[in-house]
Amino acid sequence: TTFGTNYSNENLTCYNQSTTGYGTLVNNFDFRMNGSSITALNMPFNLNVPSTATGAIVDYSTYENNGTLGNGTANTAPTWTPDGKIGGTYNFDGQNDLIVIPYNESLGGNGTWSEFSMEAWFIVNSSDSSGTLISNRKGTSTTDHSYTMGLSSGSLGYLYCFIGGTTTVGTAPNNNASDGCEPLGGPCPKINVGSWQHYVCTYKDGEGIKMYLNGTLIGTQTSASGNLRVSEGVVRIGARGTGVNPPNYVQPWNGTIDEVKIYSNRALSAEEILDNYNEGYNRLVSQELENYTNYTCSVALTNNINTNISLSNQITILPYSAPSIFDDVQFDSSFESGNLYNVTYVSGDANGNRNYRANIAYTNATDACSATSKFTDFAHWWTFFEMTNTSGKNITINLTGLASDDFVRLRWDNARPRYSFDYGLGNVDNSSNNYSMGTWTAIMPPDSYQVNTNGLWVAFNITVPSGQNTTWVATADPYTVRRRDLYLADISSSPYVNISVINTTTFGLNLTSVTVTDSAYSDANKVKIYIIGQQHANEEVQGSWYSEGAINYLINESNATAAQLRRNYIFRFVPIVNVDGVYNGTGRYSPYYNGTTIYDPNRCWDDARTGQPLYNVVNWTFWDIVAFDPNASIDVHGSITNSSTIFTGYNYYLDDGLQDTAMINFMKNISVYWENEQNEAGGLTGGTETHPYNVRLSTVAVHPAMMMENTVTNFSGTTDVPDYNDWMRYGVEMLLGIRDYYNNTLNGAAAPTIPYVEVITAKNPTEDSITTITFNFTVTDGDGSSNINTSSGKAYFQRGGETTRSDVSCVNQTPVGNSINFSCSIDMWYYDGAGAWTINVSAQDNEGEYVENSSTTFTYNLLTAMKMSPTSMGWPELSLASTDVGSSNNPIIINNTGNAVSLGVNTTAYDLQGEQTTSEYIYANNFTIGISSEGCSGTAMSNATAIAISSAVLNKGNHSLNDGSTGQEQIYFCIKGVPPTISSQSYSSSVFGPWGIGIFLALLVSGGRRKKKRNKTKLEEDKLFDAFELIAEELREEYSLNKKELLEIIIKKLKKKYNFSSKELLELISKESFEIPVSIFRKEIGSLESIVKYMKENLNMKYVEIAKALGRDERTIWTSYKKSKEKFPEAFAVKEDEETIPASIFKENDLTVLESIVVYLKKKGLKYSEIAQIIGRDQRNVWTIYLRASKKLNKI
């Protein structure tokens, strides 16, 4: 580059050096600055992608804004052709073809872009057409429009470009070609038909819109201003949008589009546009190259089928300048807790190496607190700062001017500074509420961290990967006042947390406490613990992390141990007690000066006297402890020689037994204690001090020997460096140590509850088998889900007189909050009784508390079914004199394979015809049928007549016992004799049909002879008729000869009981059992209107009949039909095999038609989403309708 300029003298060109493969090869180039593409969208269309799968059209930029042909629909997908401007391309039919790209910030900048460019090659098929090349518009108004370029709809055949700025919008050339194209002064050039043309539209705030055709400026528009407007609609190629998503689009392109590019926050220069027109996209002109920028080029090699992508070498443009050109890293510590100053550039080179020297702000140790030499150390070991422009650099920071005391007691010589690339800004300023810590990495000796105790300096080195332009550095994982406030806001909604401001400090910051307990239990039985963190600011960030970890553990509702602690303890935390010192970052601001003495707010804690900044904080905290009256107070402390704490409980301040609640004496005693090193060994210390990260906890309460220390050892030379996650875990260990020491369990565990048992819809038995019923129930424990015994879930189905069915090992599922769902599966046998079964579920917690719930039931339906064996019978040879001869196949065993009770058995016999002499018969009335005890004195048969065997009863039960009675009946066939006139031959049922054996509900057998009044209403309400409807429904589902015959028997019984004709009964059956197809429901008409229209037009029913069937008055039916005709005049087209709903469900007058439909479909086991699709309603509306209907039916 030339010194004094901001650009190179040479163009930057990308060459493919590894062209391999087969077929016609095309290079797809993508330039990248500092690892990110210059383009936000780079679609050369060289790959033949016929698929309409989502994201199949490849974007070769690093933003991966892949597109979808036709928005996933084949008939709106453009057609690929190899005859593109460069490689392949797509033809658009001018009707509905388009490519859709989901919108994200990289395609519009979310209001941050002040520059923008669009580029495409195109062919248009008509000179008088409008069309869209590229567009981002979600609606029809200007405020919904971000950018569009294409052919004008106002002046057909002329190019235009629209840009929506946040201040004003603009369209070039004013959407009217007759206005002229500035600065040309004459009419805009009309596009050529059938040839390739290159079109670029650029925008820059302050300069407006510029249009370039074939490398030449053809028009400008200066009215647009401000950053690019945000439009959250999809980006379309080949059409302009009128809604957020397709298919809302207009102005489709009629022709070919190729080499589509969108440039992120970049207005292409005239030179670059001309170069793209002449040379393609494999070169950047010199005017576009920027100093200190790293360039790479991606080459995607395409053979119309496959793509192979490779990256070029990297080139960084550097200006020729003085050696200080490498001083390009910016340092900042002017934020909360920041500490670094006097940053001086030392050296650098073209390889990215950067060396800097700096100091840490601190006060003169000899004047810091007017104390003895014991307090002259540790004034300058905390640092926290931000570096920018760090991408790809190797940075060394040398901290000089330290003191000898900074290298004793395992301070800098054993510290591990650390760095982060993704530290949340919300921790230190108001830019966001994101207080994520990100990832912090320790800087390890000897390669990256050096300590010089003679020269009193430390140096650490950070190699920053390319693309990481911001780097944070700190002595330890920082914990700021801002983070504390965001964290407290986050946990404030917990029912166990009470946040209180103790007072406001000199710098206007809140000294805040957090009290955690379960207020549902009396405080009288609780142990009180007071915990503070960051007494010595920043160097003791561990104390705040301990507090956060402990609080997180305590408020966890799914943790039983946490619940036990909440019941029996009151914890008060002051996460940052030296709040001013933390905020100021160890003396970053001028130390406090009272006229004669300088005081550092981070170092004078131990000698806080009247007039010093920390006096108020110490005073407020002390009296808060006095008011709280704790059993123990804990200072989570580090990097101080003493292993005891300044707060050891207000009755036990010091080991030498001095006890005084007067503040002045308290301060005096502290001062004396800290100045006397010998006293600290008086029963309080637990070993030598280690280093800033190995935090020591000590507590002196009523029992001076109570101490808690973590067991982390000196980590010098190891990679296992504790971080904030470890410190939060140590906070949990601290809680467990307190629990073990006090062992307070006076407030016992809360009993669990079962608030929810899943509704089980009516279930059908499975013939001759089992039906597995799976359902869930929820157990909730106020002590947390971990206190629920996960192996205790049990479920039972119970019904009087029936065997209880159970699952005593229900499977526990993933806990949610303080609840666990149990999934149970229970097998119901085919012979289990029909009717309501009670659902009984139970569980226990880990402390033996038991809970059960038996408030719900489910219905096990009736199943009438049987199987028999053998299925054929015969007799030995008979003579004319033979009498009372049983069948060779006796007995026929009938098994009840359902759960119907006390079924009757009937047989339909037919005359047997001679097989040689067909005019001879053995008549049906020659046979009797009975059970074994009757011999041949059973019931006589009658030809072609179903005769009930009065002595046979088929009970329900486990027929596999095969005892002749449990779920089983045995019948015997006997021939009383043969007609004396017949000849000797074989006789069989082959002519008149096989004999039939059937079962029926014994309830149907008439018990009296009195005539019944002909009353249709009574017939409809009769339980016998309900049974008849069950059988009729079975006949509709599975029509068989035996059931048809059985239907005739039932009709006979009903005729006999009610004196009805067969025609009347069949009409009643037909009327009661008709079905409503689900396809008739439409969004445009109501449910009642749909049903009435179907019954009137498709079933030809009268208004009075419809009203009666639906339980509505005739006027309502008439009005509904009138409305349905107005809204939907066509007749419903119904298929024979589609899903239906029985009309009988609408008899329930308490429910609306829509409620009846939803309840019925829900009982059938359909999901809310499936019901919503059937009836044309929103899923949430379906849920509301079902809830309302259930309440009406008293089932919730």
Residue 483 tokens read as 């983070």
pLDDT, tens only, 211-258: 999 999 988 888 888 898 888 788 999 998 876 556 677 889 999 999
For residue 259, what pLDDT band results from cuts at 50, 70 and 90?
Answer: very high
Residue 202 has pLDDT above 90, yes or no: yes
Tell me the C-alpha distance between 195 and 1058, whole Å.
Answer: 90
Tell me the C-alpha distance between 598 and 375, whole Å.
Answer: 14
Tell me the C-alpha distance between 58 and 70, whole Å.
Answer: 14
User: Can you say whether the dihedral through the CA atoms of 226, 232, 236, 242 is positive or negative?
Assistant: negative
Q: Give the pLDDT confidence score for residue 298 in this predicted structure.
A: 81
Q: Give the pLDDT confidence score for residue 1085 in this predicted structure.
A: 83
Q: Give the pLDDT confidence score for residue 604 in this predicted structure.
A: 52
How far from chain centre, in Å, is Cα 732?
Answer: 29
Residue 687 has pLDDT above 50, yes or no: no
User: Can you say whether the dihedral through the CA atoms of 20, 21, 25, 26 is positive or negative?
Assistant: negative
Q: Give the pLDDT confidence score for residue 133 in this predicted structure.
A: 94
pLDDT, tens only, 1166-1184: 888 888 888 777 777 788 8
Write 718-725 long-range contacts (CB < 8 A, 24+).
719/442, 719/444, 721/416, 721/418, 721/442, 721/444, 721/693, 722/693, 722/694, 723/418, 723/440, 723/442, 723/477, 724/437, 724/440, 724/477, 724/479, 724/541, 724/545
Range in 140-144, 294-298, 1088-1092 the model is least confident about: 140-144
Greater confidence, 587 or 309? 309
pLDDT, tens only, 826-843: 999 999 999 999 999 999
Q: Are 660 and 652 in contact (CB under 8 A)?
A: no
For residue 1191, the surrounding DSSP H or E stretch is helix 1179-1192
Q: Give the pLDDT confidence score for residue 1048 in this predicted structure.
A: 60
Name the residue type at position 834: A
Residue 960 has pLDDT above 50, yes or no: yes
Q: Are 214 and 278 in contact (CB under 8 A)?
A: no
Q: Give the pLDDT confidence score for residue 566 in this predicted structure.
A: 94
pLDDT averaged over every residue in the chain? 77
Q: Give the pLDDT confidence score for residue 648 in this predicted structure.
A: 31
Q: Which residues pair with 317 in a beta bridge?
A: 293
For residue 973, what pLDDT band results from cuts at 50, 70 and 90?
Answer: very high
How many Cα atoms are found within 13 Å in the side-chain-facing hemisphere of 396? 17
Tell me the C-alpha distance between 889 and 905, whole Å.
Answer: 18
Tell me the C-alpha distance between 127 and 158, whole Å.
Answer: 9
Dihedral-angle region of residue 960 (phi above 0 means left; psi in -120 to 50 means alpha; beta otherwise): alpha
Q: What is the mean pLDDT of residues 1152-1164?
A: 83
pLDDT, tens only, 908-934: 999 999 999 999 999 999 999 988 766
- DSSP assignment of 1103-1137, as one string? HHHHHHHHT--HHHHHHHHHHHHHH--SPP---TT
Residue 667 has pLDDT above 80, yes or no: no
**Range with top average pLDDT, 319-333, 681-695, 1127-1141:** 1127-1141
Q: Are 1159 and 1189 in contact (CB under 8 A)?
A: yes
Among 758, 814, 808, 756, residue whose Cα is nearest residue 788: 814
Domains of the chain, earliest start first:
39-268 (2.60.120.200), 323-474 (2.60.40.3120), 494-742 (3.40.630), 753-858 (2.60.40), 866-1005 (2.60.40), 1020-1071 (no CATH), 1075-1192 (no CATH)
Name the residue type at position 508: G
For residue 341, what pLDDT band results from cuts at 50, 70 and 90?
Answer: confident
Q: Give the pLDDT confidence score for residue 1006 in this predicted structure.
A: 32
Tell me the C-alpha distance between 717 and 679, whole Å.
Answer: 34
Q: Are 1000 and 903 in contact (CB under 8 A)?
A: yes
For residue 748, what pLDDT band results from cuts at 50, 70 and 90?
Answer: confident
**Taking the model in full, what pTM does it have?**
0.44
Q: What percent of the chain has pLDDT over 90?
A: 33
Residues 6+ apart with CB under 8 A from 628: 528, 530, 572
Greater confidence, 360 or 414? 360
For residue 18, what pLDDT band results from cuts at 50, 70 and 90?
Answer: low
Residue 207 tokens read as 């300069």
- DSSP assignment of 1028-1084, as one string? HHHHHHHHHHS--HHHHHHHHHHHHHHHHHH---HHHHHHHHHHHT-EEEGGG--SS
Tell me the C-alpha distance between 110 and 231, whole Å.
Answer: 8
Q: Give the pLDDT confidence score for residue 586 in this predicted structure.
A: 61
For residue 301, what pLDDT band results from cuts at 50, 70 and 90?
Answer: confident
pLDDT, tens only, 537-582: 777 788 899 899 999 999 998 888 899 999 999 999 999 988 888 8
Greater confidence, 382 or 962? 962
Residue 587 has pLDDT above 70, yes or no: no
> Is residue 53 exposed (0-12), middle (13-18) or buried (19+ Cβ within 10 Å)?
exposed
Q: What is the mean pLDDT of residues 867-877?
A: 90
How many Cα atoms are found within 13 Å in the side-chain-facing hemisphere of 538? 27
For residue 2, what pLDDT band results from cuts at 50, 70 and 90?
Answer: very low
Among 338, 337, 378, residue whose Cα is nearest residue 604: 378
